[in-house]
Structure 1
Amino acid sequence: MFFQSSRRSVSKGKLMEFTSSPFFPLVLGSIGVVALYQLLLRVRQKTHIQDAVVVVTGASSGLGRECAKVFHAAGARLVLCGRDKERLQDLVKELTGAADSQRKTYPPSMVTFDLSDTEAVASAAVEVLQCFGHVDILINNAGISYRGTILETDVQVHKQVMDMNYFGAVALTKALLPSMVQRRSGHIAVVSSVQGKIAIPFRSAYAASKHATQAFFDCLRAEVEKFGIEVSVFSPGYIRTNLSVNAVTGNGSKYSALDKNTAEGRDPHDIAMVMLNCVSRKKKDVLLAGVFPTLAVYFRTLCPSLFFFIMASRARKEQKLKDS
């Protein structure tokens, strides 16, 4: 009892000594500043997304579906885009039934079209604008992946991947951009990939399309800044979706397999939440990859010879596994 009482007295004494020190107000003030900053971010997020017209491509599955959910919960007026009409209708029903008593939400609209068909994109953009009269935020999410060797891949497959991942996003952005310029307001976001910054073996068509995407939207950001339009590029690593299952191979057939890295990837809901936060904060370039992919991005710039050596080793290892 004596020792317990002594320990309590010592602890109480140290606490009193700390609270009376000149550092205590500084610590308390710092905590207050951080809390206020977090509060302001939440308020800004609510005001930026609430009632905003948000267009999401590739909304029927994967990351696009999760983006639709989190932006709907944040009070956005959604226009859901995709090729699968039935899946989009199911998502509209799900979101319409997920009313939030604490925040005003809206039943989503939907526009069905094939993003890889640039002629269809132009008419689809007109339909998108007719939903609410304008677009505040465009999220270019739709995409297709690829697995194969350059030697065994048809040029037509490269075109197919480029049409979906690059030209589709470019065509829709260009179709909606004039209305944003006219209003001098808008935010264009695109889901690229860490492979838009580095290239790994057996992903040539995919990596090339994402490199092109990064370059186009970097140029766009600089050109539309004078109109008050924001541009965000998101570069995630592996996400736990069916992207690899639906990937095309060198002859155009489906890969139809869930890669180990993809299966162990990040939850798409978590990525969607980060995107919501970053769009609210108007972040321009966001890398959402793990430690090693992030380091690889820097190695490619600071020590390219090391990066090339690592990629060549990876190619030999993967080829050996395929041959065994």
Structure 2
Amino acid sequence: MNIKRQEETLMGWSIMWWLFKLFGLPITIPWLIYHFLDIMQQKRKRAALSSKVIMITGASSGLGEALAHTFYRWGCRLILVSRRKEELERVKNDLMNTYQTIPTHPPIVLPLDLTDINNMKDEVSKAIMVHGRIDILINNAGITYRGEVINTSVDVDLKVMMSNYFSQVALSKIVLPFMIEQKSGHIVGISSVQGRIAIPFRSAYAASKHALQAWYDTTRAELFDKNIKITVISPGYIKTSLSLNALTENGQVYGLMDKTTENGYQPEFVAECILKSVLKQEKEVTIAPFSPKVAIVLRTLFPSLFFWIMQKRAKNK
């Protein structure tokens, strides 16, 4: 993370020098003032995170674990959710041994199968009542999929939809009454670029993320006067074990690290971007390279061209 901050600092100085050479002081000085004020504002907002209660699902590894580190070091009170209790305990110990926060808030470990949507309300409610409130819910847990539509069992479609869509909706509906009662709250849905565009051999995954996008958009509109913020994060590929655990057409585990995943963003970088989006209370953020962002624009403005490109991609499997 220190390397990333150094890179950002160097980039900032490069932009300033470029502006100075191109436009001189009349442009450079206002930019410097804006940049300085933005930095100060971000520091104040980060400091305001102290003691906020944040629930993170899928916190036992990958992006969820990175999010736990990112928010805990700012003094947040964490509720870590995952099916794997041992891994959650490991993350909890890593956090407490890595960061010396004052006061110290030991993270709450909540082992939970989020797909068991009819039996999780009591456990979630008890965990929230430890601190008496819930400020931010980060819906991060989910699975992915690889396969052809025609060969994919409907059971696989159901399993992916249950994990990626219904579990997030069910957990959000448990948390929302607490947020409405306290008259504030923020739900962060971790979607995907594939929630904005659909690519070949990802039908179940893309469908679940498209559904998620629609639910959050509707919820944001309906709760705008309740002081409930909704942020949808659409990342590109992240270097985690997600593809290793992907489901295949017949429900088996994929077990391979895709080249795209291997070359994806580091989870720590994505977690930092998510932190910034929470601080800015942004409604929607796409964390992806240039080409996926262009594809999103093409799908919107030139759908026929986008469909042709996807046909070529499917053919060249």
For 1:131 and 1:112, locate their aligned partners in 2 and report how far apart those are by CA, in whole Å.
Answer: 15
For 2:314 and 2:37, locate their aligned partners in 1 and report how far apart those are by CA, in whole Å.
Answer: 49
What runs of 5+ residues in structure 2 fail to find an aligned partner?
1-19
1:90-119 deviation line (CA, Å, top 9, x unaligned) = 111111112336x65421111111011111
Shift in Å, 1:252: 0.5
1:72 maps to 2:72: yes
Matches within 5 A, 1:214-233: 214-233=213-232
Aligned to 2:43: 42
For 1:173 and 1:183, locate their aligned partners in 2 and report how far apart those are by CA, in whole Å.
Answer: 15
Aligned to 1:13: none
1:57-78 deviation line (CA, Å, top 9, x unaligned) = 0000110000001000111100
For 1:317 and 1:29, locate their aligned partners in 2 and report how far apart those are by CA, in whole Å.
Answer: 50
Shift in Å, 1:302: 0.5
Q: Number of matched residues?
A: 296
Checking the alignment, whether the CA contact within 8 Å between 1:111 and 1:127 is kept in structure 2 is no
Checking the alignment, whether the CA contact within 8 Å between 1:72 and 1:105 is kept in structure 2 is no
Aligned to 2:279: 280
1:27 maps to 2:28: yes
Q: What secondary structure sits across from 2:237 in the alignment? A: coil
For 1:160 and 1:123, locate their aligned partners in 2 and report how far apart those are by CA, in whole Å.
Answer: 23
> Amino acid of the residue matched to residue 94 of structure 2?
E
Aligned to 1:6: none
Aligned to 2:10: none
Aligned to 2:91: 91
CA spacing shift, 1:84–1:28, aligned 2, 3 Å: same
Aligned to 2:3: none
Shift in Å, 1:219: 0.6
Aligned to 2:266: 267
Aligned to 1:61: 61
> Amino acid of the residue matched to residue 42 of structure 2?
L
Root-mean-square deviation over aligned CA pairs: 1.6
Shift in Å, 1:131: 2.4
Q: Tell me the TM-score normalised to structure 1 length.
A: 0.88
* Higher gyration radius (CA): 1
Aligned to 1:82: 82
Q: What secondary structure sits across from 2:225 in the alignment? A: helix
Aligned to 2:184: 185
Q: What secondary structure sits across from 2:264 in the alignment? A: coil
Percent sequence identity is: 43
CA spacing shift, 1:27–1:260, aligned 2, 3 Å: closer
Aligned to 2:13: none
Q: What secondary structure sits across from 2:275 in the alignment? A: helix
Shift in Å, 1:289: 1.1
Q: What secondary structure sits across from 2:98 in the alignment? A: coil
Q: What secondary structure sits across from 1:308 in the alignment? A: helix
> Amino acid of the residue matched to residue 140 of structure 1?
N
Shift in Å, 1:240: 0.2
1:152-197 deviation line (CA, Å, top 9, x unaligned) = 1110110000000000000000011011111110000010000000
For 2:210 and 2:115, locate their aligned partners in 1 and report how far apart those are by CA, in whole Å.
Answer: 18
Q: What secondary structure sits across from 1:147 in the alignment? A: coil
Shift in Å, 1:130: 2.3
